[in-house]
Structure 1
């Protein structure tokens, strides 16, 4: 397999991220080696699609770029399915419209597919905070709130249950065989629901004995965090929405798989994070930084507890209310273009 077996899909829905989107596109078309193609899918926003076409024409990238309009239901899942359907390569990679791929992103991704059992390769998403500094109250254990990697994720290449949606790739045939991303899940506009990639990854690994999804931290992207996502209000709102999303996924795939990673995270990662901060509070801290450091450690400990409780509340309410996600249709991929990949080499 080579870089010409990779199609990159970027989904976009708003002009509010225009500068980020342009940077994201640029980070893909300047990859060495380059992917076969970049698909930019706009989500029911024709004006945005036209502007992307103009931007691509002005920049004249050496990598082919196609701008598509989401032909499925509005939302990230529908847009991703449109990209998968239009792709013509063995692997489809997904990059968020506010994320930029590091140099060598495609090359690292390709190396991960050497083993034919590997059905997907994902990587690290580091937060790019406003002003270059994380808010003092924001615990790193909850960086998933802003779509970024967090403590507890692998620090070396190893199998995982699912990827962070901002930076992942999957074999196209597997996505199509699984029916695509569930359009009853996933972000629609600014509504902070998610877990559509979790549900799809679980279905893919269930479908084939020995199938592996591999996390490689060297396959990295920078994911911008906007100012509006750095408030405690957004933090708690997103935690609650995550609980609701986890309940939806568990209802579809069962709690054993739907909560497998979350059990370890809750039982190990969060207690370890609190313990380390308490240790800092009672330990020796340089006098010049004592007040600030201790205040931040205490606040972060409280926010870890608050985030865990609010997430659990969202999960419990969704389960107790009997709210369900409609059963997935046999395929969420637009039928007219869900054709086998035209390019394949190696495994």
Structure 2
């Protein structure tokens, strides 16, 4: 297997120092050696200096490189900076608070033996800070904490979009579709927005209708979930922010593609989840009522965010910040 993969890890806070070091260590321990690991620091001079010092021994070899985000604050611009600097024909993205299993890159690389494949994502498993999943937290909403959720395709399957924290793209994808739109997704603000990878993948499929986008659930990473994100207020806030983000995606690429996967999720996966929770409650299993209620609350919050975002869009204002054209790498 000869695929060279550059790995990009976008970082922004010293609060995740140990997580970042663990992420880099997991990349360096891969069974398929990464061509390089790029740490892109999002407008944090102190963190930039600290990481540069930590990895100074790799400056000559380029095994680990530390870069400053060359664009506006936010995850999308950080990824675009990494894309522009990467030397590999395939670029993988790993969250800064996640660790990859040893064969993560090998499984991603296998799919690229098919020249039609332009993107491959993997499976993201939650690492709950409390030690186990909260009884009320439904697996159908694991996307709230950046993880693969119940209802997501299993095995190796074609998908509309990959999930951003565990994803890879052939460089040709950025050549034909540009980079990530900097008006979508997290930008360092308080609201936990998302969907930048969804918008990009839809745009990529439009630019290359023959493109194949895959998920391979053997490519596993483990994503840390801090205690604050195990609580219902964050759950509700994140679901609302997802609705805002989806409104912007629908405005950008149209509701047909922008909500294609969400319709199946909302009409089949979530009702089954509510029924499962209620059945568990009848059987006396812990958390059944809570899970059913959380699904309903999550749907309401996301729908509310989508309505607010759509109204703002119709008034000519972006739901949270102006959408900028995605810069080519």
TM bracket, shorter-chain basis: over 0.9
Q: How far 1:191 sits from its partner (Å)?
A: 3.0
Output one character per residue of 1:99-139: Cα deviation in whole Å (capped at 9) or x when no partner.
11101111111101111111111000000001320111111
Contact 1:35 1:63 in 2 (8 A): no
Query: Please, which runs of 5 or more residues in structure 2 have no aligned partner?
Result: none
Contact 2:177 2:203 in 1 (8 A): yes
Q: Distance in 1 between matches of 2:282 and 2:73?
A: 51
Match of 2:224? 224
2:238 aligned with 1:247 = no
Task: Give the paired residue count.
Answer: 323
Contact 2:130 2:227 in 1 (8 A): no
Q: How far 1:279 sits from its partner (Å)?
A: 2.0
SS at match of 2:194: coil
Q: How does 1:34-45 map to 2 (within 5 A)?
A: 34-45=33-44
Output one character per residue of 1:256-308: Cα deviation in whole Å (capped at 9) or x when no partner.
0000110010001000111112222334xxxxxx4xx34x1001101100000
Match of 1:127? 126
Match of 1:307? 298
Q: Distance in 2 between matches of 1:219 and 1:263?
A: 26
Q: How does 1:167-316 map to 2 (within 5 A)?
A: 167-189=166-188, 190-283=190-283, 290=284, 293-294=285-286, 296-316=287-307
Match of 1:320? 311
Q: Distance in 2 between matches of 1:22 and 1:222?
A: 14
Q: How far 1:6 sits from its partner (Å)?
A: 0.7
Q: How does 1:27-176 map to 2 (within 5 A)?
A: 27-57=26-56, 64-176=63-175
Output one character per residue of 1:179-219: Cα deviation in whole Å (capped at 9) or x when no partner.
20000011012431110000001111111132110000000
Output one character per residue of 1:142-186: Cα deviation in whole Å (capped at 9) or x when no partner.
110000011011121000011111100011121133120000011
Distance 1:157 1:61, change over 3 A: farther
User: Higher Cα Rg: structure 1 or 2?
Assistant: 1
User: What is the RMSD computed on CA atoms of the aligned residues?
Assistant: 1.8
Q: Distance in 2 between matches of 1:327 and 1:279?
A: 44
TM normalised by structure 1 equals 0.89
Q: Distance in 2 between matches of 1:61 and 1:133?
A: 42
Q: Distance in 2 between matches of 1:173 and 1:191?
A: 32
Query: Please, which runs of 5 or more residues in structure 1 have no aligned partner?
Result: 284-289, 339-347
2:318 aligned with 1:332 = no
SS at match of 1:217: strand
